[in-house]
């Protein structure tokens, strides 16, 4: 397929509890695309919101056949919502963005131009992280550092604001894992990439959906998806502890034989604590990987759809 001005762009947006401003956001994005003369469709995925989001999406998609609205049967999380959206996108290029206008729509024409120039993936990278507190920024930096050091996947400034060529989307669909991490998988895929930096805007309305526990889950998932280095660390730890044991053993025996053995139990207790905690930590680590294998083996669908409106008609 040749790239031309007449190519169609699919805009995939995961939407969760954004009822108060989603129509306004879509209106703004639509305006930018029309102004740029970009042929487009919207795939809006309601990730099981409990507010009026689905009603708003129904209103949007009801009379407009360029709009597909999908409602997942419950809140499956942003990653699953993205998968659903990407699977239903039909365009020659697919753009993924957030519903809260934190990804500036004004950048889309520039991204499409880069695609026309021949790039397969055009990604928005954060030049600033917007309004986040110091602790959050420090944790994010630490997480990306660990991920980079252990798996060579550099995501420091990566975002989920991305435009992908059809062939990249088809490649993405071939990846069968149940627990996905869009940013990481996209970096893993390669292809001709171009980065465009942007400032993270203020949220349109509402609040971020990422609680601390959700972020920790995402971080653990990302690290264990791309690297088995933590498992090797356990082996290394075991080896180090063995060396320590040999040295301490020799010393204890020497003290005992020369009649200078202390009658305190400090060493024993310290050692027990150390070994105990190392074993626990190691078992936990193995557990995390086992859980992942367990989830993949179950091979459940990534999401379930409860309603679908496409081409102005309700399909289910």
C-alpha closest to that of 67 among 4, 12, 16: 12
Per-residue x/- mask for ligand UDP, residues 33 to 72, rule CB under 6 A?
A: --------------x-------------------------
Q: Count residues contacting ligand UDP (CB under 6 A)? A: 16
* 102 belongs to the binding site for Mg ion (CB under 5 A): yes
* 100 belongs to the binding site for Mg ion (CB under 5 A): yes
First-to-last alpha carbon distance for the chain, in angstroms, is 32
Q: How many CB atoms lie within 10 A of CB 291?
A: 14
Q: Give the total residue count for the chain.
A: 316
For residues 155-174, b (16+ Cβ closer than 10 Å) or e, as one string? bebbbbbbbbbbebbebbee
Of the pair 41, 100, the CB lying nearest Mg ion is at 100
Site for ligand UDP in 3-22 (CB under 6 A): 14-16, 18
Q: Three-state DSSP class for 128?
A: strand
47 binds, among ligand UDP, Mg ion, none (CB under 5 to 8 A by kind): ligand UDP
* 25 belongs to the binding site for Mg ion (CB under 5 A): no
Site for ligand UDP in 199-218 (CB under 6 A): 208-210
Q: Which of 78, 166, 183, 310 binds ligand UDP (CB under 6 A)?
A: 78
Of the pair 207, 298, the CB lying nearest Mg ion is at 207
Rounded Cα distance between 137 and 130, Å, is: 10
Of the pair 100, 165, the CB lying nearest Mg ion is at 100
Rounded Cα distance between 59 and 75, Å, is: 21
Rounded Cα distance between 206 and 16, Å, is: 10
Q: Percentage helix, strand, coil, to 5, in the chain? A: 50, 15, 30
C-alpha closest to that of 291 among 216, 144, 179, 151: 179
* 221 belongs to the binding site for Mg ion (CB under 5 A): no
Of the pair 136, 188, the CB lying nearest Mg ion is at 136
* 81 belongs to the binding site for ligand UDP (CB under 6 A): yes
Per-residue x/- mask for ligand UDP, residues 101 to 140, rule CB under 6 A?
A: -x--------------------------------------
Non-local CB neighbours of 70 within 8 Å, separated by 6+ positions: 43, 44, 45, 46, 84, 85, 88, 305, 307, 308
Q: Which of 20, 24, 52, 75 binds ligand UDP (CB under 6 A)?
A: 75
Residues that bind Mg ion (CB under 5 A): 98, 100, 102
Residues that bind ligand UDP (CB under 6 A): 14-16, 18, 47, 75, 77-78, 81, 98-100, 102, 208-210
């Amino acid at each position: 397929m040749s790239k031309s001005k007449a190519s169609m762009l699919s805009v995939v947006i995961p939407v969760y509890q954004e009822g108060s401003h989603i129509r306004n956001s879509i209106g703004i994005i639509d305006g930018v695309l029309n102004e740029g003369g970009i042929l487009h469709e919207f795939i809006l995925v309601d990730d099981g919101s409990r507010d009026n989001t689905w009603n708003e999406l129904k209103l949007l998609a009801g009379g407009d056949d360029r709009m597909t609205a999908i409602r997942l049967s419950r809140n499956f999380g942003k990653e699953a919502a993205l998968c659903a959206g990407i699977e239903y996108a039909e365009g020659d290029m697919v753009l993924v963005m957030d519903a809260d206008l934190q990804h500036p729509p004004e950048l889309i024409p520039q991204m499409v131009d880069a695609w026309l120039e021949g790039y397969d993936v055009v990604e928005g990278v954060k030049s600033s992280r917007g309004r986040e507190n110091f602790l959050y920024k420090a944790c994010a930096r630490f997480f990306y550092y660990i991920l980079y050091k252990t798996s060579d996947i550099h995501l420091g400034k990566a975002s989920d604001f991305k435009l992908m060529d059809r062939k990249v989307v088809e490649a993405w669909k071939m990846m069968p894992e149940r627990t996905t991490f869009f940013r990481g998988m996209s970096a893993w895929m390669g292809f001709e990439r171009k980065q465009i930096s942007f400032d993270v805007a203020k949220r349109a309305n509402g609040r971020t959906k990422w609680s601390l526990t959700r972020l920790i889950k995402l971080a653990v998932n990302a690290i264990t998806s791309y690297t088995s280095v933590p498992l090797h660390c356990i082996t290394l730890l075991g080896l180090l502890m063995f060396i320590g044991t040999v040295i301490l053993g020799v010393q204890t025996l020497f003290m005992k034989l020369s009649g200078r053995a202390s009658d305190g139990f400090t060493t024993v207790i310290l050692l027990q604590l150390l070994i105990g905690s190392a074993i626990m930590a190691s078992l936990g680590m193995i557990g995390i990987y086992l859980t992942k294998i367990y989830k993949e083996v179950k091979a459940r669908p990534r999401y379930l759809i409860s309603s679908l409106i496409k081409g102005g008609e309700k399909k289910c």
